[in-house]
Amino acid sequence: MRGHGFLLANYAPGESLIHRAPLWLKFMVVVSCGMASFLIVDWRLAAAALALMCTLFLLSGAGPARLVRAVRPLLPVLLAIGAFQWWQLGAPVAARIVLNVLLCVVAASLLTATTPLQRLLDGVVSLARPFTRFGADPERFALTIAIMLRSIPFIAGAYADVRDSARARGLERNPRALVLPVFITTVAYARHTGEALAARGLGEPEDSRPGDG
């Protein structure tokens, strides 16, 4: 199965100022961009904010190709959303919505492109630790995110492989030829992942494991 990126950029090693910035500061940038996407009502401000985030991404040394790969899968959806909003509410509103979504994606990509995955997961564990008093398990939460980050590109790659195979057989318009193989591959992947976690004593509550009193 070939690898595929999905929305967020992969980590690019480097020594830029953004790479060396504290993780909490990067988290705050992502959260701020998410809040700004709701507060910005002028498409020109949204465009300026997006331009700033793209500039920061390029200054980090991650490279324009990595940014394009992170955004490209989202473009067909944004095109459809933008066209519908243009029809319903006009061009300025459509542009603002599309630009604000891209702002959030680029901000999140800046985080993942300049932060090693393990450091990112350690940060998630630290953020979730105050919620242990409510029964949360920070390590399990980080494990869930790690599995998600690994699974999404796998499923995207499975769909792309099945689509190419169906196209070669002239079945690209047959939903069954597309959906069923991806469903089977995804279920098999989920089972293998679950078996691997179980073999390591992970994936189930402590009090439900065999042999526990």
- pTM assigned to the model: 0.66
Least confident of 151-160, 165-174, 186-195: 151-160
The pLDDT mean for the chain works out to: 76
pLDDT: is 195 or 22 the higher one? 22
Residue 213's pLDDT is: 44
For range 19-40, the mean pLDDT: 87
- Domain layout of the chain by residue ranges: 17-115, 132-208
User: What per-residue string of b and e applies to 130-169 under the rule 16 or more CB within 10 Å gives b?
Assistant: eeeeeeeebeebbbeeeeebeeebbbbbbbebbbeebeee
Residue 156's pLDDT is: 61
